[in-house]
Amino acid sequence: MASALTDKLTRLVKEMRGQARITETNVQDMLREVRMALLEADVALPVVRDFIARVKEKALGQEVLGSLKPGQTLVSIVNRELAATMGEGVADINLAAQPPAVILMAGLQGAGKTTTTAKLAKHLIEKRKKKVLTVSGDVYRPAAIEQLKTVTKQAGAEWFPSTPDQKPLDIAHAALDYAKKHYFDVLLVDTAGRLAIDEALMKEIKDLHAALNPVETLFVVDAMQGQDAINTAKAFKEALPLTGIVLTKLDGDSRGGAALSVRQITGAPIKFAGVSEKLDGLEVFDAERHAGRILGMGDIVALVEQVTAGVDMEAAQKLAAKVKSGDGFDLNDFLSQIQQMKQMGGLSSLMDKLPSQLTAKAGALDMDKAEKDIKRKEGIIQSMTPLERRKPELIKATRKKRIANGAGVHVQEVNRLLKEFEQMQGMMKKMKGGGLMKMMKKMGG
């Protein structure tokens, strides 16, 4: 699904090579692909239009910086703009209120409100050492009240009882009183789910908002909702002054375009992402990482294919077994890793396959220099005797000088390589399973 975009972008990036500026004409095709990608990721159409217009404006006439090609520059503009649109920095829960700080949870039925309420309770207890009370205003579904009771207990918070014969407003007042009397820091209010936007229920949550004066009004939205998210978001934004968004079910296979739509429509920051049904499946939302997901990570797949194709699997397995058996990782293994790096088709070819936000960061790196560096390292290890490679601790001053001479480098470079080897060895010991090679095998499936 994702790789189609990245293939196209890669091709277009190549076509744009050698051009020094982003112009109306060379940007056209690329923007079309970006637009398709956003639509495929289920970003709502008006949001896509807006976004593309902004990127175009930012990109036109922009000088292509340093070693970056116009295509890469454009992709990095798209990425940055995506991340910026979805929010920058960390937006944690605001608790700056006279205790108890009230947090009102809003959203459609099934969006994940109850689960998220418990996840947040757990987060606030564990990360911010707060005393947390939860209450359900969902008097229409007794099962919903019970569900909150169960997950609240699992989260280690206290649950305030409510019953279907009560009015949501009365429940809210009673819970607030109780929270005040018992010195709770936070009161989390779960609300009635609605299957679709419903006038009566909207009024109910508005009244709840007015009565509780929450410091946070969080809109919980299912990332799998795709295009529909925009209408839900609009309705909730009109009804309530939203202070934040929780995007749930990001562990599903949607590309998460809803994040962009919802953020743009509500203007509220995306504070958390739900990444599992379990109570520890709540993450602080990372806009940059999410931008990569929306644009598609097909490049990563291509990269891994190339990597695993180039790797000598037998050697990798031997290495893995060795580390596991505690035989240790020596300079021969280090050399074989360096050689496998070379087999993967050289660094610059790998760079082309990395997601653009990474290449943008690495833009300043001189690839030729990095490849020469690999060759030099190979030379140094090859100037060592078999015994030295197996027992690097033997390599003292005289041996270092001999090795440096043999490889035509300074002694400092030998020192640097030994230091790098030691770091890698330490890492391998920690991983106890073959490290890089094992990871690659896993990624390669």
Q: Residues annotated as binding site for GTP?
A: 107-114, 190-194, 248-251
Among 85, 32, 25, 24, which Cα is nearest to 54's? 85
Q: Give the nearer residue to ligand GDP in terms of CB position, either 257 or 392.
A: 257
Write down the least CB distance from residue 323 to ligand GDP, Å.
35
Among 26, 62, 109, 336, which residue interacts with ligand GDP (rule: CB under 6 A)?
Answer: 109
Among 248, 308, 337, 340, which residue interacts with ligand GDP (rule: CB under 6 A)?
Answer: 248
| By the rule CB under 6 A, 111 interacts with ligand GDP | yes
Q: Give the nearer residue to ligand GDP in terms of CB position, either 74 or 250.
A: 250
Amino acid at 185: D
For tokens 């391998």, the residue is 428
| By the rule CB under 6 A, 62 interacts with ligand GDP | no
> Which residue ranges are tagged as binding site?
107-114, 190-194, 248-251
For tokens 């602080």, the residue is 284
Write down the least CB distance from residue 162 to ligand GDP, Å.
14
CA–CA distance, 152 with 147 (Å, rounded to integer): 8
| By the rule CB under 6 A, 75 interacts with ligand GDP | no
| By the rule CB under 6 A, 224 interacts with ligand GDP | no
Among 71, 107, 355, 392, which residue interacts with ligand GDP (rule: CB under 6 A)?
Answer: 107
Among 113, 122, 293, 353, which residue interacts with ligand GDP (rule: CB under 6 A)?
Answer: 113
In terms of C-beta density within 10 A (0-12 exposed, 13-18 middle, 19 or more buried), how is residue 169 classed?
middle
Encoded one letter per residue, x for contact with ligand GDP by CB under 6 A and - for no contact, window 176-205 reads: -----------------x------------
CA–CA distance, 34 with 242 (Å, rounded to integer): 30
Write down the least CB distance from residue 29 to ligand GDP, Å.
37
| By the rule CB under 6 A, 256 interacts with ligand GDP | no
Long-range contacts at 388-391 (CB < 8 A, ≥ 24 apart): 388/331, 389/330, 389/331, 389/332, 389/335, 390/330, 390/331, 390/332, 391/330
For tokens 């970006």, the residue is 34
Binding to ligand GDP (CB under 6 A) within 268-297 occurs at 274-277, 281
In terms of C-beta density within 10 A (0-12 exposed, 13-18 middle, 19 or more buried), how is residue 1 classed?
exposed
20, two tokens? 């020094």
Complete edge-to-edge strand list for the sheet that includes strand 101-106: 158-160, 132-136, 186-190, 101-106, 216-222, 244-248, 270-274, 282-284
Among 40, 50, 251, 378, which residue interacts with ligand GDP (rule: CB under 6 A)?
Answer: 251
Cα distances (angstroms) measured from residue 26 to each of 3, 4, 69, 245: 22, 20, 12, 37
In terms of C-beta density within 10 A (0-12 exposed, 13-18 middle, 19 or more buried), how is residue 403 classed?
buried
Among 73, 85, 114, 308, which residue interacts with ligand GDP (rule: CB under 6 A)?
Answer: 114
Q: Give the nearer residue to ligand GDP in terms of CB position, either 140 or 373.
A: 140
**251, 218 contact by CB (below 8 A):** no
Write down the least CB distance from residue 147 to ligand GDP, Å.
6
Q: Give the nearer residue to ligand GDP in terms of CB position, either 6 or 248.
A: 248
Write down the least CB distance from residue 87 to ligand GDP, Å.
18
CA–CA distance, 264 with 111 (Å, rounded to integer): 19
46-54, 70-78, 108-116, 261-269 -> range binding ligand GDP (CB under 6 A) = 108-116
112-120, 258-266, 297-305, 351-359 -> range binding ligand GDP (CB under 6 A) = 112-120
Q: Residues interacting with ligand GDP, by CB under 6 A?
A: 107, 109-115, 193, 248-249, 251, 274-277, 281
